[in-house]
Amino acid sequence: MVDQAMHVHGELWTVKELFVLPNEYIYWSIQIVMYPFMTGLVAGAFVLSSLYHVFGVKQLKEIARFSLVFSFALLPVAMMPLLLHLAQPLRGFHVLMTPHFTSAISAFGIVFMTYAFIVASELWFEYRKHFVLTTQALAAQPEKSSFETLRMHFFKILTLGAMDISDEAVQKDHNAVKKLATLGIPVACFLHGYAGFIFGSVKANALWMTPLMPVIFICSAVVSGIALCIFCYVVTMEIRKFMAKRKMSRWAKDPSAPSVSDLQTAEEEEIKIVSNYLLYFMIAAITLEILDLIFRGYTQVKSWDILREVILERDFTKIFIMQYAIGNVLPFLLMVLPGRTIKRTTVATLLVMFGVFMMRWNVVIGGQAFSLSFSGFMHYHMPILPTTWETFREGLFGAITVMATPFVIFWFLNKIFPAFLKEEEAH
């Protein structure tokens, strides 16, 4: 086996047809596809939570809280693909330590930290009452184990000394959540619109250069985030119904825990409303992508001949079959056909996420496969089995690691911020 050090970055997974100048290899691999995909999920999940907090859609109260916690779980993973891709990831903190406000990278770092602060603050106001009640309940126990004592002190610290849970104080928490959610919507959109801006501003690339790219990225981000939250919410509710049916965990100890029928009714009501919002955003996203294709063809820019060959010939299967047909048209039909069920909606959400992922793939990978000279073409073969550290982080297993991480984080966060609060613990 040839030593890894002898390879130029990108050589291991790039297959060339003739010469592609000034491009040499496909340097941005699967992790750079995962980066805009994961940031999109963050933004989309937050927008879904804001439908209740900002716009007052009361039927979405439970899934809004669920989406907010999941958005926070996704947040640290948004930077994970970049850290895995970079050769010197530890140098990344210099972006925040030495901000340069005319730098797009520095601007993203500032926006990311601002957004993280907004989400963390919103979570604290949302769960402050829960922290106080948990602290009081543990303190009232006459005999406590070491773990319970530690847990009591932990939740007491989380209250930050704000122990007032009167109706007036709880209402102030609610108002603070509403203000933070209102502020967070444009910040979340800017967080993901940044990726579209980076690609859309590259004039030398025919596939990337379009003024609609940031807007397309934002709309598709909302679509993918809502789809992920629906899917995870359905899976979680199925687990809860399974536990309720067999009187496991909380249901064995708490007689006031919801029954299977209560959970089923709540799930059907929430999914029915949220899936309608998903459909609206899907229509907007699909419309923008179609308008972008029409715009490119109508304007007949200098690079249109190259772009047409890439879209209609080279990447036809990836763009029109995998992205549009499977990822857009098929889930759209599943959503609009009469008799929509939870199972059908769940399948549609998976297809929607696949379509958004393929859109990111076609932009990142497809955009590197050719140059304006079009003297050649490059094909990307993603490393499947990790034989080296590079083939792990830039291959299938690296992408799976990134996708799995937010679910692990969500499991831990749910111990602190229960996605399904009792009514008396919610503000």
Give the pLDDT band of residue 329 (cuts 50, 70, 90).
very high
Instruction: Answer yes or no: is 57 within a domain.
Output: yes
Same domain, 306 and 363: yes
Question: Are residues 363 and 336 part of one domain?
Answer: yes
Most confident of 17-31, 210-224, 398-412: 398-412
Examine residue 295 and state whether it is found in any structural domain, yes or no: yes
pLDDT at residue 395 tops 70: yes
Using DSSP's 3-state secondary structure scheme, residue 15 falls into: strand
219 belongs to a structural domain: no
pLDDT by residue (tens digit) across 63-113? 888 999 999 999 889 888 988 888 777 777 777 777 777 777 777 788 888
**Separation of CA 131 from chain center:** 27
Residue 168 sits in the same domain as residue 261: no
Please check whether residue 1 lies inside any domain of the structure. Answer: no
Q: What 3-state DSSP class applies to 17?
A: strand
> pLDDT at position 6, please?
58
User: Is 132 part of a structural domain of the chain?
Assistant: yes
How many structural domains is the chain composed of? 2
Instruction: Indicate whether 129 and 171 sit together in one domain.
Output: yes
Kindly report, residue by residue over 206-251, the tens digit of the pLDDT: 778 778 888 888 889 889 999 999 999 999 988 888 888 877 666 6
Asked if the structure places residue 426 within a domain, the reply is no
Instruction: Check if the beta carbon of residue 208 is closer than 8 Å to that of residue 202.
Output: yes
For residues 153 and 271, state if they share a domain: no
Mean pLDDT of the chain: 85
Rg (CA), the chain: 24
Does residue 274 share a domain with residue 371?
A: yes
Model pLDDT for residues 332-365, shown as the tens digit of each residue: 999 999 988 999 999 999 999 999 999 999 888 8
| Domain shared by 396 and 375, yes or no | no
Owning domain of residue 331: 226-380
pLDDT at site 176? 93
Strand partners, 377: 17
**Same-domain check for residues 409 and 375:** no
The reply to whether 372 and 355 lie within a common domain is yes
Residue 35 belongs to some domain of the structure: yes
If asked whether residues 76 and 196 sit together in one domain, one would say yes
194, 334: one domain? no
Q: Are residues 191 and 107 in the same domain?
A: yes
Would you say residue 146 lies in a domain? yes
* pLDDT of the residue at 15: 80
Whether the full predicted model's pTM is greater than 0.85, yes or no, is yes
| Distance of alpha carbon 197 from alpha carbon 347, whole angstroms | 31
**DSSP per-residue codes, 270-304:** HHHHHHHHHHHHHHHHHHHHHHHHHHHHHHT-TTH
